[in-house]
Amino acid sequence: MTKLIIILLSAVFINNYVLVKFLGICPFLGVSKKLNSAFGMSVAVIFVMLIATAVTWPIQMFLLEPNDMEYLQTIVFILVIAALVQLVEIILKKFIPSLHKSLGVYLPLITTNCAVLGVTILNIDEGYTFVEAMVNSLGSGLGFVLAMVMFSGVRSTMEGSDIPKSFRGLPITLIAAAITSLSFLGFGGVIENLFS
Amino acid sequence: MKDIIKPIIVLASICLVVTAMLAYVNYLTDPVIIRAEEEAAAEARCEVLSKAKDFEKLDIDGLPDGVTEVYKGSADNKLCGYVILMQSKGYGGLIKLICGIAPDGRIESVKTLSHSETSGLGTKAVDNGSGYREKFAGKTAQSYNDVDTVTGATISSTAYKKAIGLAFEAFGMIKEAEHENA
Amino acid sequence: MKTLNNFKKGIIKENPVLVLVLGTCPTLATSTSVMNALGMGVAATAVLLFSNMMISALRKVIPDRVRIPCYIVLIAGLVTAVQMIVKAYIPDLNRSLGIYLPLIVVNCIILGRAEMYASKNKVFDAAVDGLGMGVGFTLALFIMAAIREVFGNGTFFDMPIPVLCDNKITLLTMAPGGFLVFGLLIAAVNKFGTHKPQKKDFGCSGCPQADICHKKSCEDDKEAAVND
């Protein structure tokens, strides 16, 4: 149990996908302008990360590894994720239209999101069991939410300020991201020692 | 109908061709990858237990969590010591170490295999050139804890020492197992 | 002449990282040292060159409806091949790039060039375009990595630099330093670049996949931009 909590908290705070590992930067910078869309996007990311892990982990363990085909990992994972996202979108559209309305627009954007492919590959690389892999995916997704929501708050306070001309737009956003990322450095090592 | 069949055929054949190509590249590179990995591992073993010439992998049940592999090192059929591979969690991720312990229980040498500690801070402990690993040479299970942690790299050096503790734990178990066999 | 311009545009006028702001993830993650940056740059350039050539050669065969899956399969295949070669012959580089090596698959520069250029042009032009973009990507990574390694670690290609190696700004090699240096570099490009700063804000509309994915999310973005 302790191990699962450590995995979860490390994924959220220490190895935050966006601010520490630099995965999923595009949506982080692109969709974080408004709180609503930032939140919608991140919920869709958690959703896809969990499903993707639930499908790719068994594929790796029961299909690729017994047949010595680990080298097909990247190609199989990306195709599975792409197909999965399409499938989820169709299912949502048909059966839960209200959810599709709020999440659906973000789903296609996620197919080529490096955070999703990243989490599935890292789960294998770290040698996690199925439960650990799912917990790690959940934690990574939650970390993504945290970073997105925090950052959209930072950006909204930046909105009215007078910014030098060449810094307007992306540069100031990146510098704000640097400061947000700095705040996450403080978590390093804390969680391991909470339980020891 | 043709609108559906053609895309399927094209996509399927592209998948087939790409997979065949990968299988071929894998066939070419796989032996090279395995050889490179084995060479690197053998080199690390020789470095931490310099007197030994032959290494034999030991299978011991119930090794502590974090100890990944243990080897018995010998030269001309004389026992030179044991090589233990262990890992523990540092600041940025797993720190993987390799450690050679002489039969009398003294550390011959320790070496970092891989780590993801912060450059300039955690590396003051885990970098092979930082001088920290030399401080453990000659230490025993009782005295290894006397080595101070490195200022500015507390978490990394604590993890380092924890891994060395694991190595001694494994060493004790190896001795016991060898004793039973003998 | 035309070929030369085609090659040059990827390096300066349409630099994928500094002007088009694509492929930010690998740029930030692998620019901690010059060696890593060059390794990543060369690996991505190789993938980009071959994927552009293959997609251009197959552009008349691939049906429009399944073009994206086809591109993804081709790119993923190339990335895996590159990964295996790196693993076999430069294992140290494989260790330091880690997960970012397989993640070249989702590098938007590669899929973006496939969709925007290679699928519409001849093989030779596509190859030149891919090479130019790849060199531009490598160059941008190299500049970022040089700043981060020289000031953050006091070394250049792992060789210590006097004075600086005793006065390291360690922050620069850590995660926040990546964002910071990247932000400052783009500000510098905006200030001194011959090109006018990009009007479109960095959002969905700036992404090459905007057309691939639902138009709606982009419209939402535009709406938001108008409302601002």
Separation between Cα atoms, residue C46 and residue C48, nearest integer Å = 5
Whether residue C195 contacts residue C98, with contact meaning beta carbons closer than 8 Å, is answered with: no
Residue C228 confidence class, pLDDT cut points 50, 70, 90: very low
Q: Which of C25, C191, C214 is the closest to A166 by Cβ?
A: C191
B40: chain C residues, CB-CB within 8 Å:
91
C206 plus C169 within the same structural domain: no
Q: Does C85 touch chain B (CB under 8 A)?
A: yes
C112 plus C207 within the same structural domain: no
Rg of chain A over CA atoms, in angstroms?
A: 18
C12 plus C108 within the same structural domain: yes
Question: For residue A107, what are its two tokens?
Answer: 């789903």
What's the confidence (pLDDT) of residue C179? 92
Chain A: list its partners (3+ Cβ pairs within 8 Å). Answer: B, C
Q: What's the mean pLDDT when you consider all of chain C?
A: 82
Q: Does C4 touch chain A (CB under 8 A)?
A: no
Q: How close, in Å, is residue B45 to chain C by CA atoms?
A: 18
Q: For residue C159, with 0-12 CB atoms within 10 Å meaning exposed, 13-18 middle and 19 or more buried, which class applies?
A: exposed
Q: Answer whether residue A108 shows pLDDT above 80.
A: no
User: Is residue B1 in some structural domain?
Assistant: no
User: Is residue B30 in some structural domain?
Assistant: no
User: Is residue B26 in some structural domain?
Assistant: no
Reduced to 3 states (helix: H, G, I; strand: E, B; else coil), residue B6 is helix
- Closest by CA position to C95, among listed C107, C106, C86, C105: C86
Owning domain of residue C13: 2-195
Owning domain of residue B128: 49-181
Q: Answer whether residue C60 shows pLDDT above 70.
A: yes
Whether residue B50 contacts residue B108, with contact meaning beta carbons closer than 8 Å, is answered with: yes
What's the confidence (pLDDT) of residue A195? 64
Determine the residue among A14, A71, A196 to mutate to test chain B binding: the one whose Cβ has the most chain B Cβ atoms within 10 Å. Answer: A71
pLDDT tens figures, B38-71: 888 888 888 888 888 888 888 877 788 888 888 8
C7 plus C76 within the same structural domain: yes
Number of domains in chain B: 1
For tokens 């087939």, name the residue. B16
C225 plus C125 within the same structural domain: no
pLDDT tens figures, C67-88: 888 898 999 999 999 999 998 8
Q: For residue B14, with 0-12 CB atoms within 10 Å meaning exposed, 13-18 middle and 19 or more buried, which class applies?
A: buried
Q: Answer whether residue A146 shows pLDDT above 80.
A: yes
C58 plus C148 within the same structural domain: yes
Q: Does A70 touch chain B (CB under 8 A)?
A: no
What is the arithmetic mean of pLDDT over B126-130?
A: 81
What's the confidence (pLDDT) of residue A136? 93
pLDDT tens figures, B20-44: 999 999 999 989 988 988 888 888 8
pLDDT tens figures, B154-181: 888 888 888 999 988 888 888 888 777 7
User: Is residue B156 in some structural domain?
Assistant: yes
C224 plus C120 within the same structural domain: no
- Do residue C29 and residue A21 have CB atoms under 8 angstroms apart? yes
C208 plus C113 within the same structural domain: no
What's the confidence (pLDDT) of residue A192? 61
pLDDT tens figures, C125-145: 999 999 999 999 999 999 999
What's the confidence (pLDDT) of residue C205? 46
Q: Does B37 touch chain C (CB under 8 A)?
A: yes
- Do residue C84 and residue B29 have CB atoms under 8 angstroms apart? yes
Predicted TM-score (pTM) of the model is: 0.83
Greater pLDDT, B56 or A99: B56
Considering Cα of C207, then A160, then C196, then C26, what sign does the dihedral take? Answer: negative
C117 plus C206 within the same structural domain: no
User: Is residue B96 in some structural domain?
Assistant: yes
* Strand B107-114 to B67-75 pairing: unpaired
What's the confidence (pLDDT) of residue C201? 43
C135 plus C190 within the same structural domain: yes
Q: Which of B22, B91, B154 is the closest to A71 by Cβ?
A: B22
C65 plus C116 within the same structural domain: yes
Any idea of the CA torsion for C56, C57, C58, C60, to the nearest 10 degrees?
A: 80
Distance set, CA A2 to CA A5, B34, B88 (Å):
5, 35, 16
In the chain, the amino acid numbered A42 is: S
Q: Does C179 touch chain A (CB under 8 A)?
A: yes
pLDDT tens figures, A14-70: 888 888 888 888 778 877 777 887 888 888 888 889 999 999 999 999 999 888 888
What whole-number percentage of chain B has pLDDT above 70? Answer: 97
- What are the residue ranges spanned by the domains of chain A? 20-185
C146 plus C216 within the same structural domain: no
